[in-house]
Amino acid sequence: MKKAILTLLLVGTTMMNQAQENKLTPISQVTVSGEGKIKVTPDEAVITVGVEYTGTDAKEVKKKNDETVDLVLKTIKSKGIPASDFQTQQVSLYKNYDYQTKKNNYVVSQTIKIHLKDLSKYESVMMDLVNSGINQIQGVEFKSSKMKQFETEARKKAVMDAKMKAEDYVSVLNQKIGKAISISDTTAPSYPQPMYRNVMAKGLEMDAANETLAIGEIEINANVTISFILE
Domain at 39, CATH number: 3.30.110.170
pLDDT at 101: 80
Q: Does some domain include residue 125? A: yes
| Beta bridge partners of residue 183, listed in sequence order | 226
User: Any idea what DSSP says for residue 32?
Assistant: E
pLDDT at 15: 54
65 with 112, same domain: the answer is yes
99 with 48, same domain: the answer is yes
38 with 56, same domain: the answer is no
pLDDT at 27: 80
When comparing pLDDT for 59 and 211, which is higher? 59
Rg for the chain, CA atoms, rounded? 31
CB contact at 8 A, 122 and 208: no
CATH number of the domain where residue 69 is located: 3.30.70.2970
Choose the final residue of a domain: 85, 114, 143: 143
88-133 pLDDT per residue, tens:
999 999 998 888 888 889 999 999 999 999 988 999 999 999 999 9
155 with 231, same domain: the answer is yes
When comparing pLDDT for 209 and 42, which is higher? 42
87 with 160, same domain: the answer is no
First to last CA, the chain: 46
pLDDT beyond 60 at 227: yes
35-58 pLDDT per residue, tens:
999 999 999 999 999 999 999 999
Confidence of residue 183 (pLDDT cuts 50, 70, 90): very high
Helix (H), strand (E) at residue 130: helix 122-132
Sign of CA dihedral 110, 115, 121, 123: positive
Q: Does some domain include residue 202? A: no
66 with 150, same domain: the answer is no
| Mean pLDDT rounded to a whole number for the chain | 84
179 with 226, same domain: the answer is yes
Ranking 17-26, 64-73, 103-112, 137-146 by mean pLDDT, the lowest is 17-26
CB contact at 8 A, 154 and 207: no
Whether the full predicted model's pTM is greater than 0.85, yes or no, is: no
Angle at 198 between CA 195 and CA 203, to 5 degrees: 105
Q: Does some domain include residue 208? A: no
54 with 137, same domain: the answer is yes
Which amino acid, residue 102?
A: K
CB atoms closer than 10 angstroms to residue 18:
10
Per the structure, the count of domains in the chain is 2
When comparing pLDDT for 7 and 153, which is higher? 153
Q: Does some domain include residue 21? A: no
pLDDT beyond 90 at 10: no
Domain assignment of residue 60, given as a range: 44-143
Sign of CA dihedral 76, 77, 83, 88: positive
CB contact at 8 A, 110 and 94: no
Choose the final residue of a domain: 112, 143, 174: 143
92 with 163, same domain: the answer is no
Cα separation, 78 vs 226, in Å, equals: 51
